[in-house]
Amino acid sequence: MTPAIFGLSGLTLNPDERAFFRECDPAGYILFGRNIDTPAQVRALTNELRSIHGRDRLLVSIDQEGGRVARMRPPQFSAFPPGAAFDALYELAPSSAIAAAQMNAHAMGIELAEAGITVDYYPSLDVRQHGAHDVIGDRSFGFEPLRVAAIGRAVLDGLAAAGVAGCIKHMPGHGRTSVDTHKALPTVTATAEELEIDLAPFKALSHAPVGMTGHLVFPEWDAEWPATQSPTIIHEVIRGQIGFDGLLLTDDLDMEALSGSVPERAERAIAAGCDLALNCWAKMEDMVGIVERLPAMSAQTAARLARALENTGLAPEGDKAQLLAQRDELLAFAETAA
């Protein structure tokens, strides 16, 4: 199996993709808006991916956070609020915010599971910082690490209740970024003491099944390589200080924060200690190059992948409409108070 997650070009697989995926056997796939039309179409697409590999527990992933990061959108799919909505409610009623976040994620998970999606790149555990770039912004659950962890835990629990694995991101913390990593590489000059704030939510939820790195340089730990490609940060900080032993993915390797060709970026990330390379844009030349450069999946990564998918692909339980109604009732309290 190739230790990579690949994107798809459209609403259905084309013949080249079908043959390539069958031959290289990637660890999984990621869906974007270009792959999504109706619930039935998405389910047919994910079913076809499973048929290629002959395994029901296949990593089929998506970025579905709510707010501005949502690949499945109305009117065909439900609307979900950004993280800041739960932060605002937590300010007034912490237990209600946790309940609302859990209900929201459970309803989201039901919708994802019905479409055949098994992994959601959510929750973002990045602690928000005043003056930072807005690439995280309202995606965050707030400025206080314990609050971020509490809401993040509710999200993981809600997704799990629907048979979907959540993913904590972006380790070791993206909240201090000065630039958008889609466009440039940020350097975070915080001290070790300050960075403890960023690490705290990840430490609290280090049991999560899946985690994602961030493309940021932290001179306190490694002045040369961004976290995604830094052996020091991956082994000493993410695996060590945070204590994360789940399936570790890179953030999208196409982001301009990284240098070199996309296959070179993937090779460096896997060599540094990431389990899987995430390549989103379905460019056949890049995908072929990644397969040529990467080693076969290690036994350790295969075990982490199996653990991450262990409770996925089950028939989702719960009433989505009821969950969304209860969520909205709780969130309305914060809106009324404001």
314/107: higher pLDDT: 107
Asked whether residue 4 carries a pLDDT value surpassing 90, the answer given is yes
Q: What is the pLDDT of residues 131-146, one digit of tens each?
A: 888 889 999 999 999 9
| Closest listed residue to residue 215, CA positions, set 189, 273, 267, 254 | 254
pTM of the model: 0.97
Q: What percent of the chain has pLDDT over 90?
A: 92
Selecting among 16, 56, 182, 235, the annotated active-site residue is 182
Summary mean pLDDT of the chain: 96
Domains of the chain: 2-337 (3.20.20.300)
Do residues 250 and 268 lie in contact, with contact meaning Cβ atoms separated by under 8 Å? Answer: no
Q: What is the pLDDT of residues 27-64, one digit of tens each?
A: 999 999 999 999 999 999 999 999 999 888 999 999 99
Q: What is the pLDDT of residues 78-93, one digit of tens each?
A: 999 999 999 999 999 9
Sign of CA dihedral 147, 194, 67, 277: negative
Question: Would you list the DSSP string of 23-53?
Answer: HH-EEEEEE-GGG-S-HHHHHHHHHHHHHHH
Selecting among 251, 252, 275, 286, the annotated active-site residue is 251
Cα Rg for the chain, rounded, in angstroms?
Answer: 19
The verdict on whether 251 is a catalytic residue reads yes
Q: In whole angstroms, give the CA distance from residue 73 to residue 270.
A: 33
Q: Which amino acid is at 180?
A: D
Q: What is the pLDDT of residues 159-211, one digit of tens each?
A: 999 999 999 999 999 999 888 888 899 999 999 999 999 999 999 999 999 99
Q: Which helix (H) or strand (E) holds 61?
A: strand 59-62
Do residues 174 and 126 lie in contact, with contact meaning Cβ atoms separated by under 8 Å? Answer: yes
Average pLDDT over residues 231-255: 98
Q: In whole angstroms, give the CA distance from residue 71 to residue 196.
A: 32
Q: In whole angstroms, give the CA distance from residue 83 to residue 185.
A: 24
**Token duo for residue 264:** 């070179």
For strand 64-66 and strand 69-70, is the pairing parallel, antiparallel, or unpaired?
A: antiparallel
Q: Which amino acid is at 234?
A: I
Instruction: Please tell me the predicted confidence (pLDDT) of residue 333.
Output: 86
Q: Which amino acid is at 138?
A: D
User: Is the backbone peptide bond immediately before 75 cis, with ω within 30 degrees of 0?
Assistant: yes
Q: Which amino acid is at 100?
A: A
Asked whether residue 338 carries a pLDDT value surpassing 70, the answer given is no
